Amino acid sequence: MKSLALAGMSLAALLAGSAALQAKTLVYCSEGSPENFSPALNTTGTSFDAARPIYNKLTEFERGSTKVVPGLAESWTVSEDSKVFTFKLKKGVKFHSVRPQGGVAFTPTRDFNADDVLFAFNRQGDEKHPFHKISGGKYDYYSDMDMPKNVKSVEKVDDYTVRLTLNEPNAPILANLAMDFMAIPSAEYAAALQKAGKLEQFDQVPVGTGPFSFVAYQKDAVIRFKAFEAHTATEKAKVDDLVYAITPDPTARYSKLKAGECHFMAYPRPADLPEMQKDAALKVINQSGLNIAYWAYNVQKPPFDKKEVRQALNYAIDKNAIIRDVYLGAGQAAVNLIPPTMWSYNTAVKGYPFDQAKAKELLAKAGVTTPLDIDLWYMPVQRPYNPNAKRIAEMMQADLAKVGINAKLVTFEWGEYRKRAQQGEHTTAQLGWTGDNGDPDNFFFLRGCSGARPGGQNLTKWCNKDYDDRLIKARGMSNQEARAKLYEEMQVIENEEAPDLKIAHSVVYEVMRKEVEGYKQSPLGDHRFNGVELK
Amino acid sequence: MAADIAAAAGNGERVAPPERPLAAFWATFSENKGAVLGLVIVSAIVLLAILADLVAPYHPNEQFRDAVKAPPVWAEGGSWRFVLGTDGLGRDMLSRLIHGARISLFIGVSVMCVSFVLGVAIGLASAHFGGVVDVIITRTMDLIMAVPGLVLAILVVAVLGPSLPNTIVAVTLVSLPRYVRLVRASALAELSKDYVTAARVAGVGPLRLMLATVLPNCLAPLIIQAALGVSDAILEAAALGFLGLGAQPPISEWGTMLADAREFIRSNPWLVTLPGLAILITVISINLLGDGLRDALDPKMRRS
């Protein structure tokens, strides 16, 4: 009797609810499935986008810019020698509760505090931490940003104060803390899972303080979130539900967008843009991207240990044709690793013009016997910096054939591709980078020595002492002009040594339906849906 | 005795000389207009494929960077320089389609030949030995057939690595059971007939019995299966190419061309349409040809 009455009441409530106010659901057609929901473990934009609605960080980037603003930290003080950072944490910040099917349910009993911050650092930095080895236990970002070397200690002063001590002064650290790998999960949730013996659930069913809470995930199909009412740390969600409809094919994404099945799509194809711009139901925005597409030579494999060979390949490729035919004009030929809009860009570096005679001459000088067989790896997926790696590879293959190099095109499944390339199994491989904190260091570290270890993000495996010394020195300085000078010198060294061919900086386009309001395109290439409304 | 026979022949009506088998075959075959059309088109495609180097206006991999995505001659802005236009990298579509015919037919025919030979060998062995050998072979074939063809092909390519020879291996493996089962079934039916017993009694050895006595009588359904098998193999190979697991770039293969042009389906539709049409026309004509063969070879279908 009671249950019947309850059912009747809830039905009435449902009817009333739907009549008064329809639940607003924002559907985002995303480009792929995330590896898991712990940003600390991941390196791709796809996985970061999937976890972003759930988490906050100590500091955050303002939506639509690279400006660092307070996130879970209310304020911070920096010591004289820029080695000790003291963070005051926000009070009354609530965690989500989750009720996964067949998993451990969790309802938080306490607010966010210093323990959660310590957990975020220690899981990645402390090898004895119970969660360190879970889900593969690889923290590429943490390592590549040199955090293990840099962080001397993280201490809890009291429940709402955390003190971070560095070994050396590090200028970009506040921006680094705003990056996804420093997302703050719930330590209480971790403890609950540990008690239940289900540690793996931590990375599959995430709990954070973010504007949306996790509801469900089906691989290759859908991720569901719902707005978190008690969210206070950053901007609140303005829709009731958020759905990521995973649609790997860009043509299919476009069809869904046209049909109104999604409100927002990731990575439109350049070929579709003219038609999208004409469509009155759609809104197209763009911004020159903070990114670089490159073609890395593995300098540990002959003949790429010779500078002349690398330079020759730089001369051999017609970059302008690639910009015209693959980017369809939505990009500019790259000279330096950083895009020209970023501070410290060295305009004196001129790069390599398209000159196949010179390429042949250099190859002969290096003593390379042609025909030379090389591998040319291309990504199987579209990236913000590279609309079609296969087509670029085919153009390169044709150009290389003319200077006597036989390039064999190779690709793997996307996760496998990065893993193998980071291990250095390739001779040459395409990849790229989208900056994640607006600091030049975030680009230049890509050619640093610490990323050249097997598994590191430096795909060239190039480790040049002159370059690396300057990289580390610049990181420790807070004077922007002095840093810029070092970065300019590094660009000269890198251009001369040519560990890679820099292909292009792309213009990033975002397409959404007219109903979507308040979306701000991020120069960092991420997608954030708090503060976004449906009209 | 001799006089008796002569007398008997003289008494009866004059028997028409039996038609030569080839002429009889052609008479039945040419009655089917679709089959003749199929034969004509298939012959044309085969000729194009063989003479690709002479017929194609350009090298299939040459990139004309000054004429990327040029429209075909009948469309607005088209020119006779590139009759069917160029693809996203400025390669001549006509040349690529002609060379693609070579790849597709090569795959189709080699898959057919390999599976024909293997199928006959395994099928006859199965029928001849019987017992444990038969059980092992038929169960293995059932196992292969239980996995969806394309999935099995993808699995094989994933293990061996994507390349043209591996595509052929994969598609052959997928189509093998059909041949084996066909040969086994018809050989078993033939083995129980009197003429086989007669041959046995006459002391014919097992190899000669199977190959010279039994096999020729199983050939008709096999030939039909082989003809249709070519078109199946072309389709499978195109599907693998579409998934990026077939011929590797820059080889011009129809399925790969189709996959590469997908993104232009709205802006430059002919890029997707042309390789699609090429596959369609080839497969339909081979199927028509196969139907005609069946009508002509299968005595049960032959009109009296």
Whether A325 sits inside 8 A of B68 (CB atoms) is: yes
pLDDT of residue A136: 84
Pairing of strands A291-297, A428-434: antiparallel
The answer, yes or no, to whether residue A6 has pLDDT greater than 70, is no
Q: How far apart are CA B238 and CA B235, in angstroms?
A: 5
Tell me if A245 sits within 8 A of A30, measured CB to CB. Answer: yes
pLDDT, position B250: 83
CB-based contacts of A327-332 (< 8 A; 24+ apart in sequence): A327/A270, A327/A387, A327/A504, A327/A506, A328/A270, A328/A271, A328/A273, A328/A387, A329/A270, A330/A270, A330/A273, A330/A286, A330/A387, A330/A506, A330/A507, A330/A509, A331/A504, A331/A505, A331/A506, A331/A507, A332/A288, A332/A504, A332/A505
For B213, the token pair is 């006595």
A/B interface, count of CB pairs below 8 Å:
51
Give the span between the Cα atoms of B60 and B102, in whole angstroms. 12
Q: Do B263 and A271 touch (CB under 8 A)?
A: yes
**Best mean pLDDT range from A138-142, B111-115, B296-300:** B111-115
CB atoms within 10 A of CB A330: 18
Q: Report the residue of chain B nearest A392, measured CA to CA.
A: B89
Q: How far apart are CA B49 and CA B283, in angstroms?
A: 15
Q: Where in chain A are all domains bearing CATH 3.10.105.10?
A: 291-508
State the DSSP code for A66.
Answer: -
Give CA separation, A385 vs A250, A404, A475, A527, in Å: 15, 29, 26, 15
Is the pTM higher than 0.90? The answer reads no
Residues 6+ apart with CB under 8 A from A247: A29, A30, A31, A253, A256, A262, A265
> Closest Cα to residue B134, out of B144, B146, B121, B123?
B123
How much is the pLDDT for A29?
94
Q: Do A275 and B249 touch (CB under 8 A)?
A: no
Please give the average per-residue pLDDT across A464-482, as a whole number. Answer: 87
Residues of A with CB under 8 A from a CB of B: 249-251, 269, 271-272, 274-275, 318, 321, 324-325, 380, 388, 390-391, 393-395, 397-398, 408-409, 411
| CATH code 1.10.3720.10 for B31-297 | yes
**Beta-carbon neighbour count of residue B198 at 10 Å?**
11
Q: How far apart are CA B174 and CA B235, in angstroms?
A: 12
In this predicted model, what pLDDT tens digit does every residue of B77-87 receive, in sequence order? 888 888 888 88
Q: Are B236 and B246 in contact (CB under 8 A)?
A: no
Mean pLDDT of chain A: 88
CA distance A394 to chain B (A): 7
> Are residues A269 and B263, on separate chains, in Cβ contact within 8 Å?
yes
CATH 3.90.76.10 intervals, chain A: 22-263+515-534
Contacts of A249 in chain B (CB under 8 A): 262
Q: CATH assignment of A291-508, given 3.40.50.620, 3.40.50.460, 3.10.105.10, 3.20.20.70? A: 3.10.105.10
Return mean pLDDT, chain B: 85
CA distance B115 to B177: 9
Contact, A310 vs A498, CB < 8 A? yes
Res B204: pLDDT: 86
The confidence score (pLDDT) of residue B299 equals: 63
The enclosing H or E element of A472 equals helix A465-475
Mutate to test the interface with A, among B65, B66, B260 (most CBs of A within 10 A): B65
CATH of domain A22-263+515-534: 3.90.76.10
Share of chain A above pLDDT 90, in %: 59
pLDDT for the residue numbered A434? 86
Q: What is the pLDDT of residue A82?
A: 80
pLDDT of residue B43: 93
**Model pLDDT, residue A14:** 46
DSSP assignment string, A208-220:
-SSSEEEEEEETT
Asked whether the beta carbons of B245 and B237 are under 8 A apart, the reply is no
Interval B137-155: pLDDT, tens: 999 999 999 988 889 988 8
Q: How far apart are CA B172 and CA B156, in angstroms?
A: 11
Q: Is the pLDDT of residue B9 over 50?
A: no
The answer to whether B36 and B57 are in contact (CB under 8 A) is no
**Contacts A380 to B, Cβ<8 Å:** 244
- pLDDT at residue number B301: 55
Query: What local confidence, expressed as pLDDT, does residue A15 receive?
Result: 46
Task: Summarize pLDDT for A13-25 with one digit per residue, the tens.
Answer: 444 444 445 789 9
All residues of chain A having their beta carbon less than 8 Å from the beta carbon of residue B265 are 251
ipTM: 0.74
CA–CA distance, A335 with A337 (Å, rounded to integer): 7
The pLDDT of residue A319 is: 92
**Digit-coded pLDDT (tens) for A291-326:** 999 999 999 988 899 999 999 999 999 999 999 888
**Residue A98 in 3-state DSSP?**
strand
Does B68 sit within 8 Å of A390, measured CB to CB? no
Answer whether residue A228 shows pLDDT above 90.
yes
Higher-confidence residue of A21 and A95: namely A95
Cβ contact A325–B65 (<8 Å) = yes
Residue A83, φ and ψ in degrees, nearest 5? -115, -25
Greatest mean pLDDT among A204-213, B3-12, B47-56, B246-255 lies in A204-213
Name the residue ranges covered by the structural domains of chain B. Answer: 31-297
Element (H, E) at A114: helix A114-125
CA–CA distance, B255 with B262 (Å, rounded to integer)? 11
- In the predicted model, what is the mean pLDDT of residues A175-202? 92
* Per-residue model confidence as pLDDT tens digits over B170-228: 999 999 999 999 999 999 988 888 998 898 888 888 888 888 888 888 888 888 888 88
Q: What percent of chain B has pLDDT over 90?
A: 29
pLDDT of A1 higher than 50 = no
| Tens digit of each residue's pLDDT (9 = 90 or more) over B111-134 | 999 999 999 999 999 988 988 999
- pLDDT digit string (tens) for A98-115? 998 888 999 999 999 999
A274, pLDDT greater than 80: yes
Is the pLDDT reported for residue A408 higher than 60?
A: yes
Chain B residue numbers touching A275 (CB-CB < 8 A): 266-267
Q: B165: distance to nearest CA of chain A, Å?
A: 16
Q: A2 falls in which pLDDT band (50, 70, 90)?
A: very low
C-alpha A466/C-alpha A471 separation (Å) is 9
Alpha helices by DSSP H, A372-445: 389-402, 414-423, 441-444
The answer to whether residue B163 scores a pLDDT higher than 60 is yes
